[in-house]
Structure formats: C-alpha cells, structure tokens
Amino acid sequence: MNWAIKLIAHSFKFKLDQIFTYFTCFPMKIKLVLTLIIFCLVSMAFSQSAKLTKKAHLNAEKIMPKVIEWRHDIHEHPELSNLEFKTAAKVAKHLKDLGLEVEEGVAKTGVVGILVGDQSGPVIALRADMDGLPVTERVELSWASKATSIYNDKATGVMHACGHDTHVAILMGVAEVLSGLKKDLKGTVKFIFQPAEEGAPPGEEGGAKLMIKEGVMMNPKVEVAFGLHISADTPEGILTYKPGGLLAAADRFVIQVNGKQSHGSQPWASIDPIVTSAQIINGIQTIISRQTELTKEGAVITLGMINSGIRNNIIPESAEMIGTIRTLDTQMQDKIHADLIRTATKIGESMGAQVTVDIEREVPVTFNDPALTFKAANWLNRSLGPEHVQLQRAITGAEDFSFFAEKVPSFFFFIGGCPKGSDPGLAAPHHTPDFYVTDSAMITGVKALLGLTLGYMNDPLK
C-alpha cells in the first residue's frame, strides 16, 4: 500500500505525512478504490505524455531535411565570437516565422525566442551556441567553409570546428516542432541562441555570462535549463551524460617573469627570464604529477603560449607564459591555484627574477543537477531507447553552459557525431582543421531535447 500512497503524493504534490493521515481515515475497501483511481489517472497522464513525445519525434523526422539544410548553410558561413550577425539573423527570422516572441541583440548577437504553451506550466530554457573558431577547414565538403577573418592580429580561416553549427540547426528544429504542438504544451519554452561560447575577443564581454547579466534567465523566470554538445569521437545515435560535475572549470593564468637583460655572450651579467621560465615550466609539471590527488578527480595544467626575446644574441629582460587550468572539484581548483603561484614565484626567487602570477577564473564546472539528471535519464530512455543512452566519465573540456547551471537546475549532455561504420578512435579532435560530424547525428539531439522538454512539462522537479 505504501507504494500507492507515494504515487498519489507525487502525482498531486502532497506531503507524504498528509497522505498517510488521509488514508488512515478510510476503510480498506475505499483505500483500494482510491488507489486504483489514482493509478489509472497517473497511467493516463503518462500515456498522454508518451503519445505527445511520439508525435513530436515523428514531426522531427519529417523536418530533418530542413535541419540539415540549415546546418550546411551555417557551416559554410561561420562567424567568430561576438560576430555572429548572419547566423543570428537567420535564427531570428526562423523564430519569427514560427510566431514566437523574439529578442535580438542579447549579449551583442544573441537571440532569444519565447514559446508560450496553451497550458500553464514551468519555464524551460533550451540553449545552443553559435560561434565558430579561427581554424582553416581541410574537410572536403561541398559546403565547407571558405570564410576568413583576423584573429589576434593574424589572418586565419574560420570554421565550425566544434559542431556549433549542428547545435544551432538542432535547436531551430526543436523550435519548429514544439511551436506546432503549442496547444499541448504545459508551460513556456525559452530558446536561447548564445554567442561567444568559445570566449569573447580580448577586452570584450560575451557568452552565457553576459546573457545572464542582461537578464536572459528572467521575464519569464527560467525554472530549468537543458543543453547539448555533439561529440566527434562518439558513434552517432548514442547519447552520453553524467550526474554532478560533467565538464571542468577553465581558468586562464599569466606568468610574468622579469629578469635582467644582457648580451648573449655574457649570460653571467643577466638574470635570464627564458632559463627561469624553463625551470618554472618543469616545476609546474610536478603540481599535477606529484601534488594533486588524481584519484579524487582529474586535473590539467597546460602552458599554451610563451613569449620572450627579439634577437638570437640578446638575453631579454622579460618573458610571459599563458596557459589554462582544468579542474572538476572546487577544493582542488583552489589548491592548484595556490600551488601554481607558490611554484612559479619561488622558482623565480631562486633564479633572482621577479615573478607574478595572475589567474582568472573563466568558466566554472558544468554541473548536472542530480535530481534532474535522474528524471532526465528516464525521459531519454523512453525517448531514445536505453541502448542509446549511456553514462560517461567527466572530461576536462569546459563549457560556459555552466553559468546557466549556476542559476537553475540544469542538465547537459553529449550526442555522438561519428558516422556509422567509422572508427571513433580515428576521429579528428574538436578545434582542428579535419573535425567532422555527420548530418544524420542531429536527429538524436532533436529527439532528446523534445523528450526532455515534454518530460519536464509533465513531471517537473517541484
């Protein structure tokens, strides 16, 4: 009998102690009748939800040729962060044509569409990122990017080398399907097309953080958020997720080494910032290998840039090193920051150089709310089939969807983009000229977001 009481409590949002009190007032026969009635009502509700999801999935399959066409056009015409003007215009026109309330110019080039269902319910945010990368494409496609631009004062090609073109096309498709189900929707959907996920240009604000700052989570107030990312080294048709910390926090650090300049033939008259930097680099490697408890969580320190010197026979006065720290635990994050500062400054001191370390916390850990993740896994199993839904380990990549997840319970997941018959282990990494994900992978993303949205509308956290 207890299971029935819990089901009734869950269905009508009563407190369990209230339900137990009510049930003790009735004879056993009445209890059985009430239980049967409630069970039938709940079963009908689940059945209606399943039918609506099935209808949404059928509609999604019908519009996939359009989703693929959108993806090709966006891929062929990529734009760098905070410069997604044509992409934003394409998205805004589509949302307006669907009859949605549309706001443009959010966080510079972001677009937000609001679909209000005919029935009352929660406000759900669905997010896709729009920006490309300063990468010159090498993939042989009729719709390959030929775009060029200037990045960090250097000429470069521009490419959707991380799959954001698929994210935009997927969410455009979800918007079209859900707008056709408006009369059946129990709540409101806020479609967030975000610029600058890869990071705003130097000296500019951007991305999820700026969208939140400008109020994207309000009016109407968002209750829950869902987001996805395509993965080149996961087979198409597979969806992966993890409760708790999924993606790492990303911090940027700058180490400035100030020494003493001298002629290259007289190193004893110098305080060599290049040799000092070399010692600091070696010291940094021991922070992860010898000072970090990696059985707790993974962590990475990568030095990506070093700048010093102008001529072969001049020992320069200074050197600058720039890198990234990736952590999945806030306590480990704080410790590694302290270790990095201590290691760099003490090595510098031992060499007679002055060393400063500046660390900027750029993106927090992308955290999947455990209670929401539990529900999401059930909805996805029903939508896609349990054989297509798999747990994954945390990864040290970062995502600024994490800023949305700091504000409301959120769920972020990956969909496979590696074509059937291909070896995922041979897939070109993200952010490289040979990166590729297949068109047919996008249906998994469309169906997943539809299943999550309709699932939450019928069974919210509250």
CA–CA dist 328, 325 (Å, integer):
10
Strand partners of residue 114: 101, 190
Pairing of strands 244-247, 366-368: antiparallel
Query: Which residues lie below 8 Å from residue 134, measured CB to CB, with a gap of 6+?
Result: 80, 149, 151, 152, 154, 156, 157, 158
Choose among 436, 447, 440, 444: nearest CA to 65.
Answer: 440
Q: 């700048």: which residue's tokens?
A: 307
CA–CA dist 410, 330 (Å, integer):
19
Is there a contact between 297 and 394 (Cβ–Cβ < 8 Å)? yes
Choose among 400, 401, 397: nearest CA to 429.
Answer: 397
Strand partners of residue 193: 111, 128
- The question of whether 320 is a catalytic residue gets the answer no
CA–CA dist 282, 165 (Å, integer):
39
Q: 């609506």: which residue's tokens?
A: 52
Q: Which two tokens stand for residue 141?
A: 């496609």
CA distances to 237, 312, 438, 446, 452 from 50, rounded to whole Å, are: 20, 71, 28, 16, 12
CA–CA dist 126, 179 (Å, integer):
14
Q: 């959907």: which residue's tokens?
A: 189
Q: Which two tokens stand for residue 431?
A: 């952010």
Catalytic residue among 129, 197, 198, 339: 197
- The question of whether 349 is a catalytic residue gets the answer no
Helix-, strand-, coil-residue percentages of the chain, each rounded to 5: 45, 25, 30
- Provide the 10 A C-beta neighbour count for residue 406: 15
The one-letter code for the residue type at 276 is T
CA–CA dist 296, 314 (Å, integer):
46
Is there a contact between 241 and 368 (Cβ–Cβ < 8 Å)? yes
What are residue 430's phi and psi, to 5 degrees? -60, 155
What are residue 364's phi and psi, to 5 degrees? -75, 175
The one-letter code for the residue type at 308 is S
Catalytic residue among 79, 84, 131, 400: 131
| Catalytic (active-site) positions | 131, 197
